[in-house]
Structure 1
């Protein structure tokens, strides 16, 4: 009796996702090394980060000056580059000249210091994430509420991995998804969990101190204090104050649609 041939269906090996990692504190900052450690094993990691701190750069891009990329070996066996430009430049160059394709996800951080409430406007960390979002790359910006170079990133690493895993596993989400994630400055065991939030209405009450340098020349130094005007328990500031990790979905479309409707209805031209 002839043996019946059994057809074996070939299964295509699923390619691992490409994870682009960047920041605004520079490629030597402890925060970006913590973020790389947090997502190891979730995909192929490629780092493209500024060669120096770029905090407060917002969505700046480099125009009229050359941009330089240099391969660095600060991340062990992870492919990594330093970039002479801004965080947004890093994302643009990574897509066009390093990866030659869009990554599956872009993560930025872990920033040393808060990027909740109005800080998202000024943040180089979040501008890198938003630039990825503009290019239809799902993105997340991570920040720890600790400015110290010796900050404890264990809690931030734990929750960064959880959130990245969730995003990689998610289906049918907006292709422009961008999340602003802030982690409170407490021991890991004191973090109560993750809370999806809205951006608080809070800002800095600023002033400029007038000072003199050693040569007697006048200069100004920005000072001020952070004031929260938002008492909602749905805000990121409230969540962080109460030891939750805050997750705020953000977008680059700044259109005020309610005001648009009012103007269309009431203004006469």
Structure 2
């Protein structure tokens, strides 16, 4: 396997080094990662600016290509010729913080994996709940991603589908197992914070408390809350198929 890894927390994230450590025994690993944090950037692509990439190293000293583009840019650049050959698999992570439910619409981690499936490659996004806690323990995430990638190599993922993986912030011996789960619901409690600069001009922050999760059985949100690793197959078809006929009945066609 020739595996491309990237993230949205930037090349110095300990989660990226942990991901490389987990995948190195499974094949040849190439790293193309952003030079800064792109959390919540979604699937932004820098179409109107040149992209630059250079050799560097991760926080553990292992080699990497560093790019001044977004996570999706890193994958596109790698696949279109920055790497000497096309990867067999794209893995994005390990993100410092969960990507559950509607987080996927914002997540740069998931966007990088989405960019992989746009290019026809199997892809995985990996996130760890409360990943900013110190000291960081990625052992459970490394074990889960190793097991899942081994299965992906054997069974393959259908074209156009990625696996979104979330890991509870627990030591390996406390993780209860793996659950295949659908996307759950998170309610964001964002607030607009207005401040003023020394000249009296307003500027704005978007703040607020942590999202409120609906712990509905069978969802990724509930799986993480009860100590399981969640695995959710995700595809790009956002169509509400059950509403197709209803909208046709409006007589618009």
TM-score (norm 2): 0.93
Aligned with 2:151: secondary structure?
helix
- Rounded to whole Å, the distance in 2 between the matches of 1:186 and 1:195 is 16
Q: 1:54-107 CA deviation, whole Å, 9 max, x = no partner?
A: 111100000221100101133779652000000000000001122354311100
> In 2 relative to 1, CA 149–56 (structure 1 residues): closer, same or farther, beyond 3 Å?
farther
> In 2 relative to 1, CA 34–41 (structure 1 residues): closer, same or farther, beyond 3 Å?
same
1:156 matches 2:141 = yes
Contact 1:30 1:149 in 2 (8 A): no
- Rounded to whole Å, the distance in 2 between the matches of 1:72 and 1:64 is 25
- Rounded to whole Å, the distance in 1 between the matches of 2:110 and 2:170 is 22
- Rounded to whole Å, the distance in 2 between the matches of 1:75 and 1:261 is 53
Contact 1:135 1:176 in 2 (8 A): no
- Rounded to whole Å, the distance in 2 between the matches of 1:77 and 1:97 is 24
1:69 matches 2:53 = yes
Aligned with 1:118: secondary structure?
helix
Partner residue of 2:121 out of 111, 126, 137: 137
Instruction: Report how far residue 38 of structure 1 moved.
Output: 0.6
Aligned with 2:235: secondary structure?
coil
Q: 1:134-186 CA deviation, whole Å, 9 max, x = no partner?
A: 11111100001122364211111111111111111114x41222011111112
Partner residue of 2:69 out of 82, 85, 93: 85
Instruction: Report how far residue 251 of structure 1 moved.
Output: 1.1
1:241 matches 2:228 = no
Aligned with 2:246: secondary structure?
helix
Aligned length: 250
- More strand by percentage: 2
- Rounded to whole Å, the distance in 2 between the matches of 1:19 and 1:77 is 19
TM-score (norm 1): 0.87
Aligned with 2:173: secondary structure?
helix
Partner residue of 2:10 out of 14, 20, 26: 26
Contact 2:7 2:92 in 1 (8 A): yes
> In 2 relative to 1, CA 76–119 (structure 1 residues): closer, same or farther, beyond 3 Å?
closer
Runs of at least 4 residues off by over 6 Å: none
1:268 matches 2:251 = yes
1:211 matches 2:204 = no
Aligned with 1:95: secondary structure?
helix
- Name structure 1 gaps, 5 residues minimum: 1-16
